[in-house]
Chain A
Amino acid sequence: MENFTLASPTTIEAALAAAQQADAKFIAGGTDLLQLMKDHVERPQRLVDLEGLPLDKFSIGEDGARIGALVRMSDLADDADLRRHYPVIAEALLASASPQVRNMATIGGNLLQRTRCGYFRDVGFTACNKRHPGSGCGAILGVNRLHAVLGGSDYCIATHASDLAVALAALDARIEVQDSDGTRKIPINEFYLLPGDTPDRETTLTLGEIITAVHVPPPANSERSLYLKLRDRASFEFALVSAAVVVAVEDGRIRAARVAMGGVGTRPWRLPAVETALAGAALTREALMDATAHAAEGARPLNDNRFKIPLMQRALTRALLTATA
């Protein structure tokens, strides 16, 4: 890890000012950034420590949830109100990383974690358009079992790694960001960018903006939610395929459903075609399999990740059956 200077502001304004220099990076929990710095993927000249900022509170009420960007993953997952009103968030958090990492990592940092693509994380590979625009993509013709089947381009097929972001995508959360002019709220499904020909650009955040909070709308009556994560080992592993489902049931049928998937897309992947097909569906395996057959529409599988296509349908069906049981 290369050296840097460390700034420790105590106000958001001071943090924004301290970040106004080349190669400055914010550091919150640091669990991803320090990995990237140790591996020389990131080489910031200056770190701006966010820990002193007053962004570590969250509240859950009739208006929904407002979650400060510096709330620790473990603190949020442990909250009884969160578990009652937003089980999909709690389950996504507890399926993430390890207890030690969750004790350090923050909500804002989790949303901005970088992909786990091995070609991105190992500077020994020269080709990575995300690290070095124009250098190529090692994964498309390389080992791509863990890569995206949806949303990829000829430049990048790296998945987004966050479980939390998948849950928040299904919940239509909004990301509150602040710059020197004030705050704005960005719907999470507009927050992450598709790679296109600029995979180095991952979100709509601009230089000089900082995430201050996440807003989640209040759950509708009789709404149930669930996060299902399938992975190569039982715990402390990133998703092969994951499903976040938020579903309202009426008279034994699905009234409305919102579903998003992880491990399969270059960003948290919302599935509107499945949602449309689920409206009015009976709670049987057959009916749900019919609706979830739309899950991988538009997918472009590669050599090693073709298995994700049938797995998406089955994971989504299982998540819906479990949530509505």
Chain B
Amino acid sequence: MSEFELSRRRFIGASAAAGGLATAAKVGSAAAATSGTPPMRTAEMVDLTLQVNGRRHALTVEPRTTLLDALREELRLTGTKKGCDRGSCGACTVHVDGRRVNSCLALAARCQDKAITTIEGLAENGELHPMQAAFLAHDGLQCGYCTPGQIMSAAALVEEGRAVSDAAIREWMSGNICRCGAYPHILAAIKDVVQGG
């Protein structure tokens, strides 16, 4: 790799930061020019410890910070994706104390000392989790944006013992939307893991 090459993520990160500055400046001047616009509320920051993938992280967040935003923006664990940000798509699915939840609907400040597992923590000892391997083997994705959430949900589904039929898998995966429509391959991947393939 040449020293001039940037990783995709670092490039996107740098662009977003620059864009963010420009936007912030614009918003600031617009707010100053418009009387009657309520100022953004400030709130006391909250100190908390998040236990993510077996590691403890001390961080300071606004009360309104969702677990999803804390993971992505504070801890830079960008595997967890933001889709709808309203609990409708499942792209943000993580495990909290062993349960799959929508991290966009959880406040980080309410997750103190809870055990959080993200897609980055699913592999063990350098070995992919069987569900990750099965998604690869069955091509359970197209664009890949929903995939971390699909895999986190599917791994929990199997743990819950609910993957007893095709219909049950479809029903219990209904919290994860795939706009590419990779559902048949996702189903095949999950069945493969259930059958110990």
A-to-B contact residues, CB < 8 Å? 1-6, 27, 30-31, 34-35, 37-39, 45, 47, 49, 51, 74, 97-101, 103-104, 234-236
Q: A35-B86, A236-B174, A236-B175 are in contact. Are A103 and B46 (CB under 8 A)?
A: no
B172-A35 in contact (CB<8A): no
Give Cα distance in the complex from A110 to B17, angstroms.
39
Contact of A99 among B42, B63, B110, B157 (CB under 8 A): B157
Return A125 CB to nearest CB of chain B, in Å: 17
Check: B87 CB closer than 8 A to any chain A CB.
yes
Q: Is B90 an interface residue (CB 8 A)?
A: yes
Complex Cα–Cα for A49 and B48 (A):
16
**Are A30 and B63 within 8 A (Cβ)?**
no
Q: Cα distance A98–B43 when bound, in Å?
A: 32
List the A side residues contacting B157 at CB < 8 Å: 99
- 8 Å CB contact of A100 from B40, B86, B100: B100
Q: Is B170 an interface residue (CB 8 A)?
A: yes
Q: Contacts A35-B86, A99-B175 given; indicate if A3 touches B105 (C-beta within 8 A).
A: no
B-chain residues with CB within 8 Å of residue A51 when the two chains form the complex: 110
Question: Nearest 10 A-B pairs (CB), nearest first?
Answer: A98-B175, A235-B174, A3-B43, A236-B174, A103-B99, A3-B41, A6-B63, A100-B175, A100-B102, A1-B64
Given A38-B85, A38-B86, are A4 and B175 neighbors across the interface (CB < 8 Å)? Answer: no
**Does B122 lie at the interface of the complex (its beta carbon under 8 Å from any beta carbon of A)?**
no
In the complex, besides A34-B66, A104-B106, 5 extra interface pairs with C-beta distance below 8 angstroms are: A51-B110, A98-B176, A99-B175, A101-B87, A235-B170
Chain B contacts to A: CB under 8 angstroms: 40-44, 46, 62-64, 66, 85-88, 90, 93, 99-102, 104-107, 109-110, 153, 156-157, 160, 170-172, 174-176
Q: A2-B40, A35-B86, A51-B110 are in contact. Are A101 and B63 (CB under 8 A)?
A: no
> Which residues of chain B are within 8 angstroms of A1 by Cβ–Cβ distance?
64
- Could you say which residues of chain B place their CB within 8 Å of the CB of A99? 100, 153, 156-157, 160, 172, 174-175
Quote the shortest CB–CB distance from B95 to chain A (angstroms). 10
Contact, CB under 8 Å: A6 / B101: no
B100 to chain A, nearest CB (A): 5
CB distance from A316 to the nearest CB of B (A): 24
Could you tell me if B174 and A101 are in contact, using CB atoms closer than 8 angstroms?
no
Instruction: Please determine whether A98 and B107 come into contact, CB atoms closer than 8 angstroms.
Output: no
Cα distance, A27 to B42, chains bound together (Å): 20
**Chain B residues in 8 Å Cβ range of A39:** 86
CA distance A51 to B113 in the complex (A): 14
* Most B CB within 10 A of own CB, among A45, A98, A234, A236: A98
Cβ–Cβ < 8 Å partners of B104 in chain A: 34
* Contact between A103 and B43, CB atoms less than 8 A apart: no
Residue of A whose beta carbon sits closest to that of B90 = A100
Name 6 A/B residue pairs within 8 A (Cβ), A-sorted. Answer: A4-B64, A5-B44, A31-B102, A37-B64, A99-B175, A101-B175
- Beta-carbon contact of B43 and A4 below 8 Å: yes
Please give, as numbers and ranges, the residues of chain B lying within 8 Å of A3 by CB-CB distance: 40-43, 62-64
Q: Which residue of B lies closest to A34 (CB)?
A: B105
With known contacts A4-B64, A6-B63, A101–B110 Cβ distance under 8 A: no
A3 to B38 Cα, complex, angstroms: 13
Q: Bound complex: CA of A74 vs CA of B43, how far in Å?
A: 33
Smallest Cβ-Cβ distance to A101: which chain B residue: B87
Report chain B residues within 8 Å CB of A235: 170-171, 174
B190 CB to closest chain A CB (Å) equals 13
Interfacial chain B residues near A104, Cβ < 8 Å: 101-102, 105-106
CA distance A1 to B176 in the complex (A): 24
A31 to B99, CA, bound (A): 15
Q: Which residue of A lies closest to B152 (CB)?
A: A100
